[in-house]
Structure 1
């Protein structure tokens, strides 16, 4: 007999949700830091955001999912900013 317990998302979806949550947190941290943090701190937060964005993009690619244009553009933006830091 099948278990009638609550259904959960497949592990792949949960992994993507965790990675997307990390992206959101990194964006929030950077947004807060822009209101007064030192430039060096902001640089590290930009790098953290880039790392989170790239991890999410890699997970999408690994599942054969398309990379949204906004995500692609945001990655390129932060790669460019990181080179100047």
Structure 2
């Protein structure tokens, strides 16, 4: 959820956004012609705390410069003043 929020695809991180997040995940999966589980795994790996190399979109002190989605990320662009 944090990644979708930071990308600007979900307006809030509250419980009401869960359905929207699932819908967005399905749209991404359909567009890439992959199972939704794959999209979920890729997005989750960017925020996972158990792997240093995958822990890019951390809750605090995210590593925006290391993220492959930074050019499309509303959070990162906001931090940079773009």
TM exceeding 0.5:
no
* Higher RCO (CA-CA < 8 Å; seq separation 6+): 1
TM-score by length of 1: 0.30
